[in-house]
Structures are given as C-alpha cells and as structure tokens.
Amino acid sequence: MAGRIICFGELLLRFTAPGHERLMQSPKFDVHFGGAEANVGVSLARFGHAVSMVSALPNNPFGHSMRSALKAQGVSTDNVLSGDGRMGLYFLETGAVRRPSRIVYDRANSVFAGMRADAYDWSCLLKGADWLHVSGITPAVGPAPSKAVLGAVSEARSQGVNVAFDGNYREALWKAWGGDGPSVLKDILAHATVAFINERDIALLLGIDIEPRADAISRAFETFPGLKTVAATTREQDSVSNQTLTGELYAREGHWTSRPHDMANVVDRIGGGDAFAAGVLHGLIEGFDPQRTIEFATAASAIKHSIPGDWNLTSLDEVEEAINENGLDVRR
C-alpha cells in the first residue's frame, strides 16, 4: 500500500570533522548529503514509497551531485528548482564521552533561502499526493521559505493531503532574520495530521509552562482539531556514545510505547529523528496497528545510529530483524 509523499525543505551538504576531532583540528572533512526532509524522503523511498523532493539547488557541481545522490536512493528530483548561487552547508563536530556533538550552520543566502515563495506551484505539486512532509527547520531559514511552507500546508489541507510536521525548532536560524518561530510553527501545526513533537515543543508553541508529556499532548489535541497522531522519543544517555532510545505514539484514542533500544557505541545520531519520523509514516501508510508502528519507527531510528551520514541506509528486512531481535551474527 505504498504512498506518494512530497517532502519540502532545504538540501544541504554536511562537512564532518574526522573521527571525534574538533572542528578545524585538522584541515579536512568527511562530506555527506543531508537536510531533514530529504532524510525522511530517502528512508521512505527505501521502504518502497514514491517520494518527490521539492526544493531549490544551485546549478553547479554541488547541486548536481545532490540531485544524483537523491535519484540513486529512489527520490524524484523533478520538482527541485535550479538557481544561481550557493548551497546551504552545515559543519558537524562529533562528540565523545562527556563532550556533546556540535553543529555550525552556514546557510545564509543559499539558493533555497532566496527562492521566491511563489516559485512553488503547490496546487500542481500536491496533486495526487497522499502526504506532505515539512519540518520547522525550513521556515526558520528565511522569510521566503517561511511563506512557502505556510502556502504548502494550506494548499495540502484544501486538497485533502495529509500533513506530517516535525517541530525541529532552531532558535539561531530564527534569530538570524528576526522571524517569529513559535507563531509560524503554531500555524503549521494547525494544518498537521501527524506531528513529531514533545512537551517542550508544545510549551513553546502555545506559550505555556512545560507539562508532563501526556498532558501536553492532550492539550495539543484539544488545541488543534485536525491533529490525529503525535509521536516522540525519549533518549537516555550514559555518555555521548552509550544511549537508550524509546518511542511513543499518541492518538486521540490511546498511547503506545516501544521497547527500549540500548545503543552502545553510537556511530552517528544525526538524522535519527528523521529516521523515526519516516518509520512512523511508513506504519501509518501501510496500515500497521499502533504498537507495530511505534516498534518499527523506533527500530529504524536505532539502526540509523549505526550509520555514518544523515541518511538511514537500511531496508525493511533490517528493520524487521531489529524489531524481532534476531541477533548480531554476520549475515551470509
């Protein structure tokens, strides 16, 4: 029962300091493709869904390489616009022991940030789609992307397309152009069918004190009548490299929790939330029962922690093995 999903957001290049070095400790980087919405799209394409990326890239070797990489993962780039200018970048310093990882953005004045909101014809782009996936990062990039996201979710709602929204509040990006993040994200959430948010996100968007998760999500359901599902994770950390991940799925009629996944020697947690979101969407599209959906999503996220780069280069079979705890022997 594969679905057609539109993912809208900025496509990025990620430069990672080698190993666990500090940024610029040595003058070299490992390079990966990234972007929150693309991370979700790649996972869904690998799970067998028809995924189309809507974005804007520079007409240069960086933009061309991103297009090629997405196509290789089964993601359509037919609706990715081209323009003159630069590509958005971010730099990652991978933490260790008691030192957390650190990200530095370099996204100002990218082709995506400067693309006019009316360059995206949402009435055409969303025709025949089952889902639109957006995140709170995209409107934080600048005024034009903010207006474009609001136009996308409004048109999706008018066409009966389900909206999946990942809160992803990025204070530094909002401050860079003076945007009102909580107000914009609240408007997006008002159009969402499914939201990947927690009690802190809800408190921020509603301007209230942080409440226990179940109470906060109940308040979100009361505030946003179109919202049907909320999913979130809980992460316990003994150190940067040793973590435990548990997923939770909330609907108006109940609450389901995954088994905890112990993750020793985490390789790369960036993109773990996107892998979780893709797992939830896969379960909803395929009609899984809620318990199976949250088990699938959390197992998919746990696998991502073992893979360098933003993209969860896994398969349905590998996720099923992780759910069933089929052991760690070499597969031959």
Give the DSSP letter string of 259-300. PPEEE-S-S--TTHHHHHHHHHHHHHHHT--HHHHHHHHHHH
Residue 241: predicted pLDDT: 82
Q: What is the mean pLDDT of residues 186-191?
A: 97
Is the pLDDT reported for residue 1 higher than 60?
A: no
In terms of C-beta density within 10 A (0-12 exposed, 13-18 middle, 19 or more buried), how is residue 83 classed? middle
Residue 180: predicted pLDDT: 95
Residue 240: predicted pLDDT: 80
Six-digit token pair at 329?
A: 């022997």
3-state secondary structure 220-241: HHHHCCCCCEEEEEEEEECCCC
pLDDT in tens, 99-140: 888 889 999 899 999 999 999 999 999 999 999 999 999 999
Name the band, by pLDDT with cuts 50, 70 and 90, for residue 328.
low
Whether residue 267 contacts residue 243, with contact meaning beta carbons closer than 8 Å, is answered with no
34 vs 329 pLDDT, higher one: 34
Residue where the block lists tokens 């616009």: 81
pLDDT in tens, 209-244: 999 999 999 999 999 999 999 999 999 988 888 899
Q: What is the mean pLDDT of residues 28-35?
A: 94
pLDDT in tens, 165-181: 999 999 989 999 999 99
What are the distances in angstroms from CA 191 to CA 13, 75, 195, 203?
30, 25, 10, 18
40 vs 332 pLDDT, higher one: 40
pLDDT in tens, 3-31: 799 999 999 999 999 988 999 899 899 99
What's the whole-number average pLDDT of the chain?
94
- Residue 199: strand, helix, or coil: helix
**Rounded Cα gap, residues 147 and 201, in angstroms:** 21
Is the pLDDT reported for residue 327 higher than 60?
A: no
Residue 47: predicted pLDDT: 97
Is the pLDDT reported for residue 326 higher than 80?
A: no
Whether residue 105 contacts residue 90, with contact meaning beta carbons closer than 8 Å, is answered with yes
Name the band, by pLDDT with cuts 50, 70 and 90, for residue 329.
low
Whether residue 209 contacts residue 163, with contact meaning beta carbons closer than 8 Å, is answered with no
SS3 content of the chain, % helix, strand, coil (to 5): 40, 25, 35
pLDDT in tens, 257-310: 999 999 988 898 999 999 999 999 999 999 999 999 999 999 999 999 999 999
Residue 198: predicted pLDDT: 97
**Rounded Cα gap, residues 34 and 278, in angstroms:** 15
**Rounded Cα gap, residues 285 and 43, in angstroms:** 14
Name the band, by pLDDT with cuts 50, 70 and 90, for residue 97.
confident
Residue 95: predicted pLDDT: 85
Q: Which residues contact 16 (CB under 8 A, 6 or more apart)?
A: 29, 30, 31, 32, 91, 92, 93, 94, 308
Residue 2: predicted pLDDT: 67
**Rounded Cα gap, residues 157 and 160, in angstroms:** 5
Q: Domains along the chain? A: 4-316 (3.40.1190.20)
**Rounded Cα gap, residues 34 and 107, in angstroms:** 13
Whether residue 163 contacts residue 35, with contact meaning beta carbons closer than 8 Å, is answered with no
pTM given for the model: 0.94
Question: Which of 118, 127, 165, 236 is closest to 9 using CA atoms?
Answer: 165
**Rounded Cα gap, residues 179 and 302, in angstroms:** 34
Q: Where are the beta strands (DSSP E) in the chain?
A: 4-8, 12-16, 30-34, 50-58, 75-83, 88-93, 102-106, 131-135, 162-166, 194-196, 229-237, 243-251, 254-257, 261-263
